[in-house]
Chains A and B, each alone.
Chain A
Amino acid sequence: MHMSPQQSPISLLREKREGLIARFVKGNEPCFLERHTEILDEYFHESFFSSSVGPQMRMEKNPYAIVALGGYGRKEQCLHSDVDVLLLFKKKIPDKAKGLVQEIFYPLWDVGLEVGYAIRSLKECSTLASQDFEVLTSLIDARFLCGIFSLYSDLKEQLRGKVLRRHGRAYLDWLSERNQERHARFGDSTYLLEPNIKEGLGGLRDYHAMLWVALTTYHINEPRDLEFFGHLSHDEFQSLCEALTFIRNVRNWLHHLSGRKCDQLYFEYQVRLAQALGFKQENGQQPVEGFLGALHGQMEFLKRQHLMFLNRAVRAKQKSERKKSPRKAVTAGIEVVRDALDFESPEAILRNPHLLIKIFEMSAVLEKPLSAGASRLVKEFLYLVNERFQRSRAVIKSFQRILSAPPQTFNVLSEMLNTGMMAAFIPEIMGIVNRIQYDEYHLYPVDKHSLRTVQTLKELRDASPDTQDAFYGKLFRELQNPELLLWGCLLHDVGKGGQEQDHDDHASLGAQIAAQVFKRMEFPDRDIEAISFLVREHLFLIHTATRRDINDEKIVVQCARKFRDVERLKMLYLLTVADSRATGPKAWNDWKAALLKELFFKVFHILKKGELATPAASEVVEKKKEKVFQRAVSIPTNTLETLFDDMSPRYLLYTSSKDILHHIELFHSLGQDPCVLETKVNPRTNYRTATICARDFPGLFSRIAGVFTLNNFDILSAQIYTWRNDIALDIFKVKAPPDTILEDEMWDRVNKDLKAALRGELDLSTALDQKVLAYQSLQRKTPRKPDKVNVDNETSDFFTIIEIYTHDFPGLLYRITNTLLRCGLDTRVAKIATKADQVVDVFYVRDFDGQKVDSPEQVAAIKKTIKEVLANGANSKAQSSRLKAESETDSTG
């Protein structure tokens, strides 16, 4: 190396680092960490040799050395990593040591490096290392820099010979405990979206922990020995190196972009990092999604290697304690060894490839993991998984058993995914492996999420009876074909592997893919149809619950029509719950659970009752619509469509197409008037039909009834419907007047009174008071049955149904409807029927908040009030005045 004499070591360091960083940013420095380490090493050498304090410390009397520790010791020096160094003395630390520190270490701070240093004697080192395993850990990574090499050897010897021999076991326990703590702390969901590259699950620390274990247990000298001594296979070691290179590179870029020692991959850096690492838009994935997917894959690999390695290290310790472990066959070709499953021999797999899935099945049944060797063999023999294997009934059966096996601490399905068995068996899954969705909502890559959904469903299935989740378990156990639902959970997001950008369309694409999988496996047609349905509609319920008005009967009926039967509803409901829960905390909470459950029950009841949502009912309604379209030539199609949307399912089902058309015409003639009245007078019959189309408001029905009574028309029956555009259609049948000569004039007056009453210009109450008084003498002459009032909250999820059985008297309907209004009830549908003097009135009501009235106190109060009104008839003066007050309030409103 050429060195100009006037340049100080520190300015050289600064210059070299700048050059290194410039090359790195341009992408021309593949070995940044090593080069960075070398540059620092060079600095220490040069400043040590040119030191003025150094020679005064009499190295020959008290030898000393400078030793690199921690990450610097491992030659993993990232851009802003700390530089950890130890100034090691053979004996007591001389006073001059501080001077050396000032001379050599301080300048590093000036160029912006964080230096962590310790000055210790050999003895202090071993004492401290025995007491504090943090110190021991940093010393394990020690690397000689300059000074007396034999001192460094002494240090190593002391660690090995004294500290680790005495405390090796305790140190291993401490390491594994600390790993668990670290994993628990960084396993939190936030770290899934913004992973910690160093401390997180699958972070570099996992690799360090492996190294520390290997250094202490197997006494290896450097990472390559892991392969050399057979602790890792050649492929595994290659993959490990690849993973480390990738993750370290990410970490270094993160340091560069953040300008500091930052190891957590915050959102703000993710897009820029993807760009820096050269990720491109691919397969419908954004660069950042591709980058996070790759990172996730590498960290997952590291995490697994780490767990496997620790597992083996612990076993190795146990193995040495009980020399030889027995092998026990559990089924032909598969054995249990040291509580893990292994193949009898590689030849056994060749003879019977079915073992490749059988071993996972046994793993699920016996609740024992695969041995590391077995996992390795599965990977190597994946080429045996051909189309014949994929179609085999026996294989599919084995897989179904794995799917429905109880959830356990280790997940057999993830093991299948990690060994590549899952994607070999169902190649369609390949597209979602490590597929990232870049948002704050989806915590897991799509493949992990799919497995979590299966797992969550099984947890719901096995929920203990006294928990909230017991309900889901109950529903699950009622399913006729629960395997189908498990398949649905596994495949629901399979469409996310698609090429297109639009994630919203993944459901229909997924349905096609799922059908393709089922066809290959030769499932019966009805199952193929069912799986397509589950996958295609897997977002339907949650979207309806959160984006639609589920208190609107029409919405719920439309929703119900999607489901062929209750079984389908239950399956989709359970899939929705499992899917949402497995997505992350933003997708699921009590609040959403409540919404979804409410929707479930409403749809469930409608399907149970059949009436409105049966295929026959849908067909009838469709036919009616067609007829109306044909006849209503003057009205534009989209206007008609809008109106159909506003009509309730009940109205559409029970009104003839002729009447619907008629009502539409009435509505069009409404204009600015409060109402239109249309009467059909057939002189030969003894009743008249009056249809009133009006803008709805609370009390409308009661006022119309009042106007009829005022004009001496007896109401025989009435039907009211309310469209969602706030148009009410009230159809009254009234007795024909005794004298029909002046009937036209009578109807004119009804029409005039109606408009006045609806405008609030007619004081109905006062007018009726006088009328009713005249009838009083006619009351209670016939024996009468007691009045009956039923309040039914069971039949409908949307309305409280009030049934009234009583004797007719003039003004009855006006009284009742006005009472309902006074009780704070809005009448949406009513059926009034009179037989002789017996009246049966049915009202579908809700309170003004659009909710049913179902508290016992409210129900009792309603019953009591109605009964009083019925009993008193028109007798009570107080009643009349109250009604009057009510009427006035209405007119102002």
Chain B
Amino acid sequence: MKKIEAIIKPFKLDDVKEGLMEIGVQGMTVCEVKGFGRQRGHTEIYRGAEYKVDFVPKIKLEVVVDSELTSQVVQVIEQKAKTGAIGDGKIFVSGLDEVIRIRTGERGKEAI
């Protein structure tokens, strides 16, 4: 099993979501996140007062899938999140030891 996390541009969420559902991904977790990379944010000065804009709003998506599906999922996110321009975010793939569905106690693949 793998956990795939992707940081994408907010307006690409619907495309990515649709793409993932098309290949049969059943569920995902979506968070609205804020972050910054190398740039430390900037300050807007409006009529003498400063307004700090110190993070960039992004969407974080988490999908847990059976290992076999990993490349397909990554591919879909990659394709759908691409705007053609640069700065389309990142995808992280990591191994997952165990998944447990609390209600039934199912483990592993069954619990995804």
Contact = CB atoms under 8 A, between A and B. Distances in A.
Interface in B63-108: 83-88
B9 to A, nearest CB: 6
Contacts of B47: 474
Contact of A549 (B11, B32, B55): B11
Nearest to A848: B86
A561 interface: no
A608 B89 CA distance: 31
A826 B86 contact: yes
Interface residues of A, number: 34
A591 B57 contact: yes
A592 B58 CA distance: 10
B39 interface: yes
A765 B46 CA distance: 47
B49 A848 contact: no
B56 A851 contact: yes
B53 A598 contact: yes
Contact of B57 (A548, A595, A726, A855): A595
Contacts of B39: 847, 851-855, 858
Contact of A851 (B14, B84, B87): B87
Contacts of A590: 34
A854 B42 contact: yes
B44 interface: yes
Contact of B34 (A546, A594, A854, A855): A594
Contacts of B9: 549, 551
Interface string A549-561: 1011000000000
Interface residues of B, number: 27
Contacts of A848: 86-87
Interface string A776-793: 000000000000000001
Given A591-B34, A725-B84, A847-B38, A601 B44 contact: yes
Given A548-B11, A549-B85, A855-B38, A474 B53 contact: no
A712 B39 CA distance: 39
B49 to A, nearest CB: 7
Contact of B10 (A470, A546, A850): A546
Contacts of B55: 594
A546 to B, nearest CB: 6
A681 B83 CA distance: 38
Contact of A855 (B14, B40, B44, B86): B40
Contacts of B11: 546-549
Given A549-B83, A589-B32, A851-B87, A594 B40 contact: no
Contacts of B33: 591
A724 interface: yes
B84 to A, nearest CB: 6
B51 A551 contact: no
Contacts of A847: 38-39
Contact of B84 (A471, A546, A726, A849): A726
Contacts of A854: 39-40, 42
Contacts of A846: 86-87
A471 B51 contact: yes
B41 to A, nearest CB: 8
A735 interface: no
Interface in A538-587: 546-549, 551-552
A597 interface: yes
A458 B88 CA distance: 38
A474 B34 contact: no
A595 B42 contact: no
A595 B37 contact: no
Contacts of B34: 590-591, 594
Given A590-B34, A591-B57, A597-B53, A849 B86 contact: yes
Contacts of A548: 11
A848 B53 CA distance: 20
Given A471-B49, A474-B46, A851-B37, A594 B86 contact: no
Interface string A596-610: 011001000000000
A354 B103 CA distance: 64
A846 B38 CA distance: 12
B57 A552 contact: no
Interface centre among B11, B40, B44, by most chain A C-beta atoms within 10 angstroms, is B11
Contacts of A725: 84
Given A471-B46, A548-B11, A849 B87 contact: yes
B29 to A, nearest CB: 15
Contacts of B87: 551, 846, 848-851
Contacts of A594: 34, 53, 55, 57
Interface string A827-863: 0000000000000000000111111111100100000
B86 A850 contact: yes
A72 to B, nearest CB: 38
A592 B57 CA distance: 8
Interface in B10-64: 10-11, 14, 32-34, 37-40, 42, 44, 46-47, 49, 51, 53, 55-57
B45 to A, nearest CB: 9
A549 B8 CA distance: 11
Nearest to B85: A850
A356 B46 CA distance: 43
Contacts of A726: 84
Nearest to A555: B11
Interface string A760-802: 0000000000000000000000000000000001000000000
Nearest to B48: A474
A858 B42 CA distance: 13
B6 to A, nearest CB: 15
B54 to A, nearest CB: 9
A854 B56 CA distance: 14
Which of B33, B37, B55, B86 has the most chain A CB atoms inside 10 A of its CB? B86
Contacts of A858: 38-39
Nearest to B9: A549
Nearest to B54: A594
A548 B85 CA distance: 13
Nearest to B55: A594
A470 B10 CA distance: 27
Nearest to B40: A855
Nearest to B56: A851
A793 B85 contact: no
B49 A724 contact: no
Contacts of A471: 46, 49, 51
Contact of B85 (A598, A724, A852): A724
Contacts of B53: 594, 597-598, 601
Nearest to A605: B44
Contacts of A595: 10, 57
A852 B32 CA distance: 22
B11 to A, nearest CB: 5
A388 to B, nearest CB: 45
A546 B53 CA distance: 17
A849 B42 contact: no
In this complex, the member of A549, A848, A852 whose beta carbon has the largest number of chain B beta carbons within 10 angstroms is A549
Contacts of A546: 10-11
Nearest to A471: B51
A457 to B, nearest CB: 19
A796 B56 CA distance: 17
A849 B85 contact: no
B55 to A, nearest CB: 7
A846 B37 CA distance: 14
A723 to B, nearest CB: 10
Given A552-B85, A855-B38, 7 more contacts: A590-B34, A595-B10, A597-B51, A601-B44, A725-B84, A847-B39, A851-B39
- Nearest 4 CB-CB pairs, A to B? A850-B87, A591-B32, A849-B87, A855-B40
25 contacts: A471-B51, A474-B49, A547-B11, A548-B11, A549-B85, A551-B9, A552-B85, A589-B32, A591-B57, A592-B57, A594-B34, A594-B55, A595-B10, A595-B57, A598-B53, A598-B57, A601-B53, A725-B84, A848-B86, A848-B87, A849-B38, A849-B87, A850-B88, A851-B37, A858-B38
